[in-house]
């Protein structure tokens, strides 16, 4: 318990003793700026300077995946309905996402990152944490971040922002401070005072539900939480809320995790006898979707990409995928997309010896709230 009593009061000023965890690591958080929009502008310079929205069309029931900085000036942000975005900025240009282009740009960026550092945790196509503790003896973490940003721009013509800090949480907040095309360094001795300037809702991990609960006790900022003290937090929000106090004080001991165990989930089946009848194919796919969906719900998995795989009787394999800007988990949507993909594969009359359905770009729903929250200030 003593270990966590890290601050002492000195007159009216707070003097900090640096928490030991802040001296253990050097983390860089990279985040490409308005990624989908930036790729579109790079590939079509006439879009430069325009309010640009990547996502669903306003006359459909889609949402904004990414808005260019010019569009953000109108109050448009990711996850807003495209219809609402159109109302806010009627002259905005709407484009459907081109995930192939984004994936290949992302692959180029990650190739650069891996040239510098082996401890990388990708968070999405355009975001990653690097643990540079062991490689920042010769060159400072800041210099490494600047070299990487420079090389990313040189090779991909895309800009990335970086946050450099002793832990993932503060690095993540820092990369947002000087966006776009900027960086911020929060050194160990400034972590506590820096956090004290922030509202709770700006802290990763602290979702809107937690923020609201704390707000009902007049606790709006990290500073409010620190001043009220850990005992008050535990008494009023339960022992499980202790972590909020730690985060508010700038403590986050989570490691940069290089391997995510599962990248996709799926079902596939090789048939004893080739299936020829189209309605049999549909029924088989529906059965697979139902079983996959049941498993995903049980495991709390949401996903962005659906893939259908078929094998002809001559062993030719074909796959077709569809990706979406936001995560979803509903069985009926998965079924609809799967059937649509099957239809697009033109295999009505072709005998099939195998069929499969899988989802990728997955996330556990408990992390989804963070993702949505991050979306607000990416």
Residues engaged in binding Mg ion (CB under 5 A): 31-32, 35, 126, 378
Q: How far is the CB of 363 from Mg ion (least distance, A)?
A: 16
Structure-token match 């400072």, residue found:
140
To Mg ion, the closest distance from the beta carbon of 122 in angstroms equals 12
- Residue closer to Mg ion by CB (options 31, 70) is 31
**Which tokens in the block code for residue 239?**
């022992």
User: Among residues 29 and 281, whose Cβ is nearest to Mg ion?
Assistant: 29
Three-state SS across the chain?
CHHHCCEEEECCEEEECCCHHHHCCCEEEEEECCHHHHHHHHHCHHHCCCCEEEECCCCCCCEEEEECHHHHCCCCCCCCEHHHHHHHCCCCEEECCCHHHHHHHHHHHHHHHHHHCCCEEEEECCEEEEECHHHCCCCCHHHHHHHHHHHHHHHHCCCEEEEEECCHHHHHHHHCCCCCCCEEECCHHHHHHHHHCCEHHHCCCCCHHHHHHHHCCCCCEHHHHHHHCHHHHHHHHCHHHHHHHHHHCCCCCCCCCCCCCCCEEEEEEEEEEEECCHHHHHHHHHHHHHHHHHHHHHCCEEEEEEEEEEEECCCCEEEEEEEEEEEECCHHHHHHHHHHHHHHCCCCCCCEEEEEEEEECCEEHHHHHHHHHHHCCC
Task: Find the shortest distance in angstroms from Cβ 34 to Mg ion.
Answer: 7
Judge whether 131 is annotated as a binding position. Answer: no
**Set 40, 70, 121, 127: catalytic member:** 127
CB 156 within 8 A of CB 176: no
Q: Respond yes or no: is residue 344 known to be catalytic.
A: no
Name the minimum Å distance from CB 160 to Mg ion.
Answer: 8
Query: Which of residues 30 and 329 has its CB atom nearest to Mg ion in the complex?
Result: 30
Length of the chain as a residue count = 378
Specify whether the backbone of 178 is left (phi greater than 0), alpha (psi in -120 to 50) or beta.
alpha
Would you say 38 or 200 has its CB closer to Mg ion?
A: 38
Task: Evaluate the CA torsion angle 231, 237, 239, 242 in order and state its sign.
Answer: negative
Q: Please, which residue, 121 or 126, has the CB nearer to Mg ion?
A: 126
* Shortest reach from residue 102's CB to Mg ion, in Å: 11
Residue 32 beta carbon to Mg ion: minimum distance, rounded to whole angstroms: 5
Q: For Mg ion, give the closer residue by CB, 204 or 356.
A: 204
Annotated binding site for Mg(2+): 31, 126
Annotated binding site: 31, 126
Q: Which residues are catalytic?
A: 127
């Amino acid at each position: 318990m003593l270990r966590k009593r890290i601050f002492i009061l000195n007159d009216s000023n707070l003097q900090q003793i640096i928490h030991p965890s802040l001296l253990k690591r050097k983390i860089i958080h990279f985040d490409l700026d308005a990624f989908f929009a930036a790729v579109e502008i790079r590939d079509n310079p006439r879009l430069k300077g325009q309010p640009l929205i990547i996502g669903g069309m306003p006359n459909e029931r889609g949402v904004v995946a990414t808005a260019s900085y010019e569009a953000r000036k109108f109050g448009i942000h990711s996850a807003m309905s495209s219809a609402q975005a159109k109302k806010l900025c009627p002259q905005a240009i709407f484009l459907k996402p081109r995930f192939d282009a984004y994936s290949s740009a992302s692959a180029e960026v990650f190739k650069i990152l891996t040239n510098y550092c082996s401890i990388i945790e990708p968070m999405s196509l355009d975001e990653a944490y690097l643990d540079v503790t062991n490689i920042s003896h010769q060159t400072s973490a800041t210099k490494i971040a600047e070299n990487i940003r420079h090389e990313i721009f040189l090779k991909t013509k895309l800009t990335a922002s970086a946050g450099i800090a002793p832990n993932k949480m503060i690095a993540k907040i820092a990369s947002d401070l000087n966006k776009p095309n900027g960086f911020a360094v929060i050194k160990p001795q400034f972590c506590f005072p820096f956090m004290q300037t922030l509202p709770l809702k700006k802290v990763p991990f602290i979702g809107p539900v937690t923020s609201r609960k704390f707000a009902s006790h007049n606790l709006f900022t990290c500073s409010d939480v620190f001043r009220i003290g850990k005992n008050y937090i535990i008494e009023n929000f339960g022992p499980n809320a202790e972590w909020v106090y730690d985060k508010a004080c700038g403590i986050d001991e989570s490691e940069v995790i290089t391997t995510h165990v599962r990248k996709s989930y799926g079902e596939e089946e090789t048939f004893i006898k080739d299936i020829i009848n189209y309605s049999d194919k549909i029924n088989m796919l529906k059965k697979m979707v139902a079983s996959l969906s049941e498993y995903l719900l049980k495991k709390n998995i949401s996903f962005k990409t659906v893939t259908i795989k078929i094998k002809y009787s001559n062993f030719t394999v074909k796959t077709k995928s569809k990706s979406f800007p936001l995560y979803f988990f509903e069985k009926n949507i998965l079924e609809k997309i799967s059937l649509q993909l099957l239809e697009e594969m033109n295999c009505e009359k072709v005998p099939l010896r195998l069929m499969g359905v899988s989802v990728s770009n997955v996330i556990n729903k408990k992390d989804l709230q963070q993702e949505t929250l991050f979306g607000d200030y990416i």
